[in-house]
A and B are shown apart, each in its own frame.
Chain A
Amino acid sequence: VTVGDDVFRDASSSHSHRRQLGATTIGAVSGGAWFALVSFLDGGWALPLRSAWGLAGAIASAVVTGVAVMHLFQIPIRRARGLAGLALPLATLPTAIVLFSILIWSARRLTGAAFSPTLSPRAEFELILVIYVFYGLLSVPLTPVLFGLAYLNQHWARAMFLRRTA
């Protein structure tokens, strides 16, 4: 190993850290924007918006979902163009919906929110997941809206990634 190799490794590591930080920031901003939409659509059904802790948990769930999706799909978002880019929301949207359902269920458990005292935690999770998957992925007017927004979000994220690396 030469001094040149160390310098190259340091530069590469610093570049990778910046890239990860960029994905985290872009994901957090995306998650925050999606939270505004989801809280409007959900209307306080599954999102525990009545308490301050519940609201914090719901926002955190959306931000963590955004960050996780941005990290998971960072490479395809940067590289996918044309038809592949257009088809990418078919992967990002279901991933985000499933992950957000798990996180929002966890936030509900932590803040003591429950649909009914007789509903088991598993049944509550299944209910949230089924409703979110139905409205998010199978609803004739809503699914194209979410798909279009996911596509625009991906377009914006790609532009941000390119600007950071330029």
Chain B
Amino acid sequence: MRRLAKLVLAAALAGALVLAWGYWHASTHASLQINVDDVGLKSANQAYGTPHNVTVTFRDHSNVALAVARSIEPAGYLLAVHPNADIGTCEHRTSPGEHSSCYKQYSAWSARWAPHVHSADVSIGGCHLHGVPVAASVSNAEWLLWWVPLPHVGGVPRQYFDFTIAVDSRSCVAVVRGGTL
């Protein structure tokens, strides 16, 4: 009977370790989504457009620069650039093995600064804006299911940061939804 109780508690401990590893990995590795919504590019069909030639410097509450993101042209999507040039955005790594090892370091670096983002300096062409508020949403739910052996459910867990910055590049002002700053 005592052996059975010990077995139950050992299973509970094993389960806790599996989940704890997932939580630790998710807390130390992040995936980023960076958006600059430019209402100066609005059209009849869309409320804002995607600007090109963008540089974003993320800052924390004390205005310390955390990381720089640049638009990847010609598509215009934004990626944070690792200070180590060998890592960069990991975009130049073509083989799956190389990309995976690069992304492991890239996501670990992202997790260190992303939770502290408060504002950003944004440059779009000749328009330079300082201290633009960043709307951040964080999701950290993968660690509960990382152990599932399915391609679209389980896998190495990460937390997700979604940063959105709204600007009007025509007037060169930061925008809050419903007005300008």
* Residues of A participating in the B interface, judged by any CB pair closer than 8 Å: 41, 43, 45, 82-83, 86, 135, 139-145, 147-149, 151-152
* Least Cβ–Cβ distance between A103 and chain B, in angstroms: 22
CB of B98, distance to nearest CB on chain A (Å): 32
Central interface residue in A43, A139, A141, by most chain B CB within 10 Å: A141
CB-defined A-B contacts under 8 Å, sample of 6: A86-B5, A141-B15, A141-B16, A147-B8, A148-B12, A151-B8
State in angstroms the CA–CA spacing of A143 and B8 once bound together. 11
Among A41, A43, A45, A149, the residue within 8 A (CB) of B12 is: A149
What A residues does B156 contact at CB under 8 A? none
Chain B contributes a number of interface residues (CB within 8 A of A) equal to: 18
A-B interface contact total, Cβ < 8 Å: 50
**Contact residues in B for A140 (Cβ distance below 8 Å):** 15, 147
Chain A residue numbers with a CB within 8 Å of B8 are 86, 144, 147-148, 151
**Chain B 14-46 interface mask (CB, 8 Å, partner A; 1/0):** 111011000000000000000000000000000
> In whole angstroms, how far apart are the Cα atoms of A149 and B15 in the complex?
12
- Considering the complex, give the chain A residue whose CB is closest to the CB of B23: A40
Contacts of B18 in A (CB 8 A): 141
Say whether B19 contacts A141, CB under 8 Å: yes
Q: Which of B84-141 contact A (CB under 8 A)?
A: 140-141
In the bound complex, do residue A144 and residue B12 qualify as a contact, i.e. CB atoms below 8 Å apart?
Answer: yes
Which B residue sits closest to A149, measured CB to CB?
A: B12
A143 to B11: give the CA distance in the assembly, Å: 9
Q: A140-B147, A148-B9, A151-B8 are in contact. Are A43 and B141 (CB under 8 A)?
A: yes
B13 at the interface (CB under 8 A from A): yes
Shortest distance in angstroms between A165's beta carbon and chain B's nearest beta carbon?
24
A64 to chain B minimum Cβ distance, whole angstroms, is: 25
- Is the CB of B150 closer than 8 A to any CB of chain A? no
Measured in the bound complex, the distance between the Cα atoms of B60 and A144 in whole Å is: 40
B144 in the interface, Cβ–Cβ < 8 Å? Answer: yes
Contacts of A151 in B (CB 8 A): 5, 8-9, 12
User: Would B144 and A41 count as touching, CB distance under 8 A?
Assistant: yes
Bound together, the chains give a CA A141 to CA B14 distance in angstroms of 7
- Kindly provide the distance from the CB of A85 to the nearest chain B CB, expressed in whole angstroms: 9
Q: Does B4 touch A at the CB level, under 8 Å?
A: yes
Top 8 closest A-B pairs, CB basis? A148-B12, A141-B15, A141-B18, A144-B11, A144-B15, A145-B15, A144-B12, A145-B16
Say whether B12 contacts A145, CB under 8 Å. Answer: yes
Please, which residue of chain A has its CB at the minimum distance from the CB of B18? A141
Least distance between A101 CB and chain B CB atoms (Å): 17
Bound-state Cα–Cα, A144 to B144, Å:
13
Q: B181 at the A/B interface (Cβ < 8 Å)? A: no
Closest to A155 in B: B5
Query: Are B144 and A139 neighbours in the complex by a CB distance under 8 Å?
Result: yes
Closest chain A residue to B16, Cβ basis: A145
Instruction: Closest B residue to A150 by CB, please name it.
Output: B12
Given contacts A43-B141, A135-B144, A148-B9, contact A142 B4 (CB under 8 A): no
Bound form: Cα–Cα A149–B18 in Å: 16
Chain A residues within 8 Å of B75, by CB: none
Shortest CB-to-CB span from A94 to chain B, Å, is 16
